[in-house]
Amino acid sequence: MGVMKMCGIAGVVDWAEAPRLAMNSLIAMQNTLTRRGPDQRGIYADDCAALVHARLCVVDIERGRQPMSLALGDERLHLIYNGELYNTSELRDELAVARHRFNGHSDTEVVLHAYAEWGAECVSRFNGIFAFAVWEQRERRLFLARDRIGVKPLFYSQRPKGLLFGSEIKALLAHPSMDARLDSQGVAELMLIGPGRTPGCGVLMGIEELPPAHCGYYDQNGLNTWAYWRLTDRTHEDSFEDTVEQVRYLVQDSIERQLVSDVKLGTLLSGGLDSSIISAVADQHFQRRGEQLHTFSVFYEDNERYFKSGKFQPSSDDDFIRQMNESLGAQHHRIVLKTDELLDALYDAVEARDLPGMADVDASLLLFCREIKQHVTVALSGECADEIFGGYPWYRDPEIRARYGFPWSQSTDYRATFLAGDYASEIDAKEYVDQRYRAALLAADVREGADDEERRMKQMVSLNLNWFMQTLLDRKDRMSMYSGLEVRVPFCDYRIAEYLYSVPWAYKDHQGTEKGLLRMAVKDLLPESVLWRKKSPYPKTHNPAYLEAVSVRLRDVMRDGDSPLLQIVSKQALDELLVDDRSVPWYGQLMTTPQTIAYMLQLDHWLRTYKVILA
């Protein structure tokens, strides 16, 4: 039984003032999570700690309530949890043998009993996406954990007399002890790394994010966290044929585990390889049950008029989506976004992410999810396949691959020209980015004796999983949760990442084709044209009306003498941005001039709406 917990969590540990006496603060934090969990609310509070939960009810409404408590001798454990486990039934069976008794069928209960049985070790047994907290009432200590790949978010702030934590930054800012302060490091993140973030960094002063695959305890001695999992390079013994078979098993098993749901479920279908694989497996699953799958694709007003084929976007999606749908028994929904809607959604996207993001790439996903939510409550999406199987141009183009620096962000000098006044002299842009790049390379595990190409490919996978993909997962979680839509990402199954990490590059790049290994593993599932289609990124608008509209809005912002944007960003650089189409990518291949202008609009809106204080 798959139980969905689309929800938000937050909490306070306070050694000086009993949280149970500060109910208004707790309710304020809870209110920020309403979009993540609109249906059911719960608060647990005692003299040292409070746990706050907001839930969207889908299954086991009564017995899945949170915070959930369990008595264990004279200890009482209290849990709040956001996520889902895909191996719930196996864990429940194992716990039943150890004499655990269950009241309902929610995976929340399995997480709580697993913690009671195995303590911090429980996270190594979970296959799922999660962020959760357990308060041990007698011991007066808090356990925090996050899933291996980092699909579900968890931010925290250490205060002089305690700790705040929550699914989103806005939950922390709702607490009276917090304000939104930005120092030069935060400015460097926004202007040099953004819309990415240095792992663990929450951009605002005093806010951090628990990194993926980390857990830890907070008590009166402070916070102690550690990594419970990492990708390690091993000698790959399997033949190519056996590797193909294992990939097929892992991919299909992951998708099927994530199709379990008691509510309507659909798939995002772009006509690309990854979403088509998920849709094909889902379609077979639905047909076996005599049901019909819903598939969803996104388009932009007038895009076919303005689309130009390029290196990164060789073909439009329309034909491939049509061919894919003809091979499925699914009901397809084609969602078309208008240019003016995209503009207004730029600001909603900031409030969903709590930070400036991928401009119209975020805004369009937010609008797309809002429409999908009219039809289904759960959707499956293809994120993570490119990172794990090496689908991006920067894996495959030897020239791009050999270049020093983050492959998706080769524009540090260009970005630095936007820094205003003191920030320009205070921040050493090259050193700030280089330091992070060097640390990221060192984090990649490479076995003894690997040749140069294998070493570089391991670095690329590590860079992509720990940096680029985190931006995409942030985007997917916040934009979907903004409309109470749960998006699952089957390629983010840690078993796939773990197995593929050691697979030689020559296998992954079979026949010199991007994701050649994955294509071989699913060749009987897809129409030939879709199976061998060249990679195309998430669609963006090519309509010149969009560039015109964001330019008009940025000029309005610049005319406002009180614009907080101009305290951070050089007016001269903005003037040049509006006049010259230099098309230097700001981030990845999707953010060129129109999106850079839109990013500046998002930054301005964020500074105003979040009342950011420049420290």
- The sign of the dihedral angle between the CA atoms of 560, 565, 570, 575 is negative
CA-wise closest residue to 453 among 377, 408, 390: 390
Calpha distance 133→200 (Å, rounded): 18
Task: Please name every residue paired with 419 in a beta bridge, in sequence order, or none if there are none.
Answer: 569
- Pair 493, 254: CB distance under 8 Å: yes
Asked if residue 199 has a cis previous peptide bond (ω within 30° of 0), the answer is: no
Contact between 549 and 343 (Cβ < 8 Å): yes
Q: Give me the catalytic one of 7, 201, 384, 492.
A: 7
* Burial classification of residue 108, based on how many CB atoms lie within 10 Å of its CB (0-12 exposed, 13-18 middle, 19 or more buried): buried
Distance of CA 313 to the CA centre of its chain: 23
At 401, list the tokens.
């691959």
Q: How far is CA 423 from CA 269, 273, 554, 569, 615, in A?
A: 43, 43, 21, 9, 12
Structure token digits, residue 533: 């289609």
DSSP letter assigned to residue 3: -
Question: φ, ψ for residue 78 (rounded to 5)?
Answer: -125, 130
**Which of these, 606, 586, 581, lies nearest to 596 by C-alpha position?**
586
Active site residue 57: no
Collect all residues with Cβ–Cβ distance below 8 Å to 242 and sequence separation of at least 6. Answer: none
How many whole angstroms separate alpha carbon 40 and alpha carbon 81? 14
Residue 397 has φ and ψ, to the nearest 5°, of: -90, 110
- Distance CA(129)–CA(109), nearest Å, equals 15
CA distance 93 to 377: 28
Q: Percentages helix, strand, coil for the chain, rounded to the nearest 5?
A: 45, 20, 35
Q: Is the peptide bond before 19 cis (omega within 30 degrees of 0)?
A: no
**What's the token pair of residue 421?**
């006044």
CA-CA distance, 46 to 69, in Å (whole number)? 13
Q: Look-up: residue for tokens 């917990």? A: 5
Closest CA to 47 of 162, 157, 166: 162
Q: Convert 40-68 into a string of H (helix), E (strand) and C (coil).
A: EEEEEECCCEEEEEEEECCCCCCCCCCCE
User: Residue 72, Cβ neighbours under 10 Å: how many?
Assistant: 14
Q: Which of 316, 324, 322 is nearest to 299 (CA)?
A: 316
* CA atoms of 383 and 396, how far apart (whole Å): 19
User: Rounded to whole angstroms, what are the CA distances from 274 to 116, 268, 536?
Assistant: 38, 10, 11
Closest CA to 56 of 613, 482, 583: 482
Q: Which residues are catalytic, by number?
A: 7
